[in-house]
Structure formats: structure tokens, C-alpha cells
Amino acid sequence: MLPSTSLAKTERPTADGGADLELVFRRFAAGESPALAQLYDLCAAELYGLALWRCGSRSEAEDAVQEVFVRLATTTADLSRVRNPRAYLLTMARRAACDLLHRRHPGEPLGALVVAAEVTHPTVVVDAERASHHLRALPAAQREAIYLRHFAGLTFAEIGAITGVPKFTAASRCRNGLDRLRTLLGVEL
Amino acid sequence: MSRDLLAGLRPPPPPTELRVRVLAAAHRAAPTVASPSRRRESLLDRLWAARWLRLAWLGAVLVLLAIHADLAGRDAPTRVPMPTYAETAGDGSFDLFRPRPSPWTLAQFRNPTTEPGLGL
């Protein structure tokens, strides 16, 4: 069973981190190419996590992150018009992951550990493996909604904007996914 | 509750070598000169970016509106009501539209259904 209270909460992006990301993104949009490396440092983990949860494969998640940054470097779009850089980048990562999923062989199984323990403790590692196992059983849409809500800390409206569904649908996906995960893990409500 | 369900867990971080790979790929793919659309600003962008240009634009619009209002009030043509038929009937204005007498009489028109010679 997953530990519930003894462990620290999942690290979430702070307001300062968001401001930094926005600042660096604006600099990159203004033509500062070196800002791309800083942009990577600020958001690669989040993009990688989303792609991993969407694809369930580490190699494809890496490809998706690479695709995002290559597209950023080559885009002809006016990036200064982007209102929410974080949501924009997450949307790009999701689309790249979806493209990779479409190209993948249909019967290929998912094998990556999509969630890891935050602290190194034997029970937590086992739980992380169990959680990863059951998370892979969830539909990809529910998995990504859970990720965006609980690890990226986005609102349902933002999740809906990123995934292209109404916010109520995003909320339903998240709730249904968590309910199913709870059932699979055998956690009492 | 749901937060507790995933507490203590986090998505695995990207591998460290991915940074080099991604940035190298982006660097290779990027054009040598920055994208013109990223560098070049349109006239609207420049207008929006500079406060004095925005004020100048607003001032020009206000001046044009004031001139329009002034001219509209000063040189407005007086409305002349359209004459009615009763007013113009006697002055011969509608003579051209009166039916003229036809050179043919009704009896001169043949009725194709009753005319014996036509065989209809």
C-alpha cells in the first residue's frame, strides 16, 4: 500500500519557477538563442514526465522532449504572442508524445516506470513499482490528466486547454483515473 | 485524498545525457540566422510597443473624429421632401407615363383558338 502521510509532498512548481520560465521564454522569443538551454533546465523534467506518462516509454519520452526543443528552435511562429509559456510547452510535449504513440507498433507493451519514489526507502520503492504497474493499466488520457493535476499542479481549465477537452471532462478523467487507481491499489476510501 | 495516494512519488527525472542530446539537436536544426518572423516586428507590433506611438495614433483618430463631426454639422444638406402625386399631377410631370392610344383595335387581334383558318 502506498504511504500516505509519512512522506513529504510531491514537489510542485512554485510561482517563482513559473515566473522564471516565463521570463526565459520571453527572452528566447525575443531572439536570444542561449535561453533555450535555460528553458530546458526549467521545464524539461515536467515535459519528460508528461511524455513518459503519455507514452509509457522512456525512449519515446526522450524523443518527445527532443522534438519539443527542435520545434522551438525552428518554429516560424511568433513566440512572443504566447500567453502561457508553460501550458504552451506542455501542449507541445503532449502533441509530440501523441505523434510518437501513433507511429508506434500497436501491440508494443509499455514498460517504463512512470512514477518513482521521492525518497529511497524499501517500502516506497515497492509501492512506486506497484503504482507504476497500475498506472500503466489506466487509459492514457486519465494518466495524463492525473499527471498534469498532481505533479504539474495545473487547474482543470489548464488541463482542458492542454489536452483539448472541456475542463469538466478533464476533471472527470482525473477523478475516474484516481478512483480506478485507488481500486487497483486496494486503498480504502 | 488523491494527493495522499500519490504522495511520496514523483515522475522519474529525465536522464542527464538527454540535455546534451536535446540541445545539440535543437542547435543543429536551428537556422543560422534567427527566424525573420521572430526578429521582424510588424507595424502593429511597433505601434503597440511604444507608448508615444499609441498616443499619436489615438490623437490622430480623435482629430479625425472631431473633423468629421464638425463637417457633418456644418455642411449637412437640407432635406427636401419628395413631392406627392397630387402636387405634381397638374404640372405635366407625369405626361410621359400616360398610356397612349393604341393604333390597333381589339377586333383586329385574332383569337387563335376560334380562328378557323389556323386549324388549332
Express each pLDDT in A40-69 by its tens digit: 999 899 999 888 888 878 888 889 999 999
The pLDDT of residue B98 is above 70: no
pLDDT (0 to 100) of residue A77: 77
Dist. CA B11–CA A93, nearest whole Å? 15
- Rounded mean pLDDT, B50-74: 87
Locate the chain B residue with the closest alpha carbon to A56. Answer: B11
Give me chain B's average pLDDT, please.
74
**Highest mean pLDDT range out of A4-8, A15-19, B81-85?**
B81-85
Q: Take residue A56 and report the three cell numbers written for it.
A: 509509457
Q: Which of A45-54, A82-91, A99-108, B88-97 has the lowest mean pLDDT?
A: B88-97
By the 10 Å C-beta count (0-12 exposed, 13-18 middle, 19+ buried), B27 is classed as middle
- Between A167-185 and A156-163, two packed helices, what is the crossing angle to 10 degrees? 100
> pTM of the entire structure?
0.60
Instruction: Residue A78: list chain B partners with CB under 8 A.
Output: 37-38
Dist. CA A108–CA A94, nearest whole Å? 19
Whether A118 and B1 lie within 8 Å, measured CB to CB: no
Instruction: Please give the C-alpha separations between residue B49 and each of A150, B38, B69, in angstroms, as whole numbers.
Output: 38, 15, 30
pLDDT band at A29 (very low <50, low <70, confident <90, very high): confident
Closest Cα to residue A64, out of A95, A105, A104? A95
Dist. CA A39–CA A34, nearest whole Å? 9
ipTM more than 0.85? no
Calculate how close chain A gets to B56, using CA atoms only, in Å.
Answer: 24
pLDDT (0 to 100) of residue A187: 64
- What pLDDT, in 10s, does the model give residues A94-127? 999 888 887 776 555 555 555 665 555 555 555 7
pLDDT band at B60 (very low <50, low <70, confident <90, very high): very high
Dist. CA A144–CA A114, nearest whole Å? 11
pLDDT (0 to 100) of residue B10: 78
Whether A127 and B8 lie within 8 Å, measured CB to CB: yes
Closest Cα to residue A86, out of A32, A144, A25? A25
Whether B11 and A65 lie within 8 Å, measured CB to CB: no
The pLDDT of residue B93 is above 60: yes
Give me chain A's average pLDDT, please.
77
Instruction: Please give the C-alpha separations between residue A152 and each of A18, A70, A86, A145, B5, in angstroms, as whole numbers.
Output: 11, 22, 10, 10, 16
pLDDT (0 to 100) of residue A108: 54
The pLDDT of residue A3 is above 50: no
- CB-based contact, A116 to chain B, within 8 Å: yes
Whether A66 and B18 lie within 8 Å, measured CB to CB: yes
The pLDDT of residue B55 is above 50: yes
The pLDDT of residue A172 is above 90: yes
pLDDT (0 to 100) of residue B106: 66
Q: Which of A3-7, A53-57, A76-80 has the lowest mean pLDDT?
A: A3-7
Instruction: Residue B19: list chain A partners with CB under 8 A.
Output: 37, 40-41, 44
- What pLDDT, in 10s, does the model give residues A154-167? 899 999 998 889 98
Whether A127 and B21 lie within 8 Å, measured CB to CB: no
Strands (E), A22-132: 116-117
Whether A10 and B14 lie within 8 Å, measured CB to CB: no
Locate the chain B residue with the closest alpha carbon to A8. Answer: B8
- DSSP string of chain B? -HHHHTTTEEPPPPPTHHHHHHHHHHHHHS-SSPPHHHH---HHHHHHH-HHHHHHHHHHHHHHHHHHHHHHHHSPPPP-PPPPHHHHGGGTTTGGGSPPPPSS-GGGS--TTT-GGG--
